[in-house]
Amino acid sequence: MRTLAELRAVIGKEGASVNSKPYSHNIIGIVLRTIARNYGQAEADKAIVDFKLYKKGWAAPKKKEAKP
C-alpha cells in the first residue's frame, strides 16, 4: 500500500498534464478514491484543494457550516 505522501506525489505529477496526457484524469480519480478509502474523505478533499483540482474539473469540497 502506498503512503499518503506517495499518493499525493502522483497527483502532483499527473495534475500538471491533465489536459495533455490522455489518462491523467483517470489516474488522478483513482488516486483520489484510494486516498478517500485508505485515509478518509477529508484527506481526498484536502488534495483537491491543495492541488487546485477544482480548476481542472473535480468538484470542490463543500465547506462545513458552523453550528450555532
**pLDDT value of residue 8:** 98
**pLDDT value of residue 1:** 82
Measure the CA–CA gap between 54 and 46, rounded to whole angstroms: 11
Measure the CA–CA gap between 33 and 31, rounded to whole angstroms: 5
Tell me the pTM: 0.86
Least Cα distance to 24 among 62, 1, 50, 58 occurs for: 58
Coil, strand or helix at 10? helix
**pLDDT value of residue 20:** 86
Q: Print pLDDT tens along the chain (68 aa).
A: 899 999 999 999 999 888 888 899 999 999 999 999 999 999 999 999 999 999 999 998 887 665 66
Domain boundaries, the chain: 4-55
Least Cα distance to 18 among 52, 62, 61, 60 occurs for: 52
Cell of 44: 481526498
Coil, strand or helix at 15? helix
